[in-house]
């Protein structure tokens, strides 16, 4: 279980901030990150993370693997935010605090991963991206305009 979790989490994490996008400005790369994290395509990863966290309480060998993956998941967006702070793309006094807030928002949305009767609402769809914009000092709609299109474009103005 430990190896399976580590391999799957590593593979999915790499697809959240792909190496092929490293040449893009930090704001463009970060725009895609919360959308990908909150996307239905990552529902299986959310379920795996939830299961690994639960099982880690009872299986001592899994605990360090979960902690290592969580640390790596924090490091990737943290590096990106720090990269964006240097030239002033992001205006945030506490990059780690901002990243933790974004990740906790996504985790909060992820509690629905085990619920096959998904609650669907435009506010939930963009909650992580809205939080990221606010926390990083970006204008309303900035990240949404750089991320892939939504299912219902009319909702962009209400919840961006």
pLDDT one-digit tens code per residue, 40-95: 666 677 777 778 888 888 888 888 888 888 888 889 889 999 999 999 999 999 99
d(CA 129, CA 160): 8
Other beta carbons within 10 Å of 86: 9
120 vs 113: CA distance, rounded Å:
12
Tokens of 33: 């990150």
Q: At what angle do helices 2-16 and 62-85 cross, to 10 degrees?
A: 10
Question: From CA 101, how far away is CA 114, in angstroms rounded?
Answer: 22
pLDDT at 152 over 70: no
CA atoms of 44 and 12, how far apart (whole Å): 10
Please name the residues in contact with 13: beta carbons below 8 A apart, sequence gap of 6 or more: 69, 72, 73, 76
């Amino acid at each position: 279980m430990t190896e399976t979790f580590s391999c799957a989490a590593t593979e999915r994490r790499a697809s959240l901030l792909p190496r092929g996008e490293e040449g893009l400005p930090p704001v463009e790369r970060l725009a895609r990150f919360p959308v990908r994290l909150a996307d239905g395509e990552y529902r299986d990863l959310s379920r795996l993370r939830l299961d690994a966290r639960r099982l880690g309480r009872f299986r001592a060998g899994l605990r360090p693997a979960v902690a290592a993956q969580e640390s790596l998941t924090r490091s990737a967006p943290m590096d990106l935010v720090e990269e964006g702070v240097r030239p002033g793309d992001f205006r945030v006094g506490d990059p780690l605090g901002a990243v933790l807030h974004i990740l906790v928002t996504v985790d909060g949305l992820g509690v629905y991963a085990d619920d096959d009767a998904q609650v669907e609402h435009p506010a939930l769809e963009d909650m992580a991206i809205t939080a990221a914009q606010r926390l990083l000092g970006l204008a309303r709609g900035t990240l949404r305009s750089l991320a892939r299109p939504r299912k219902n474009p009319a909702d962009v103005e209400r919840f961006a």
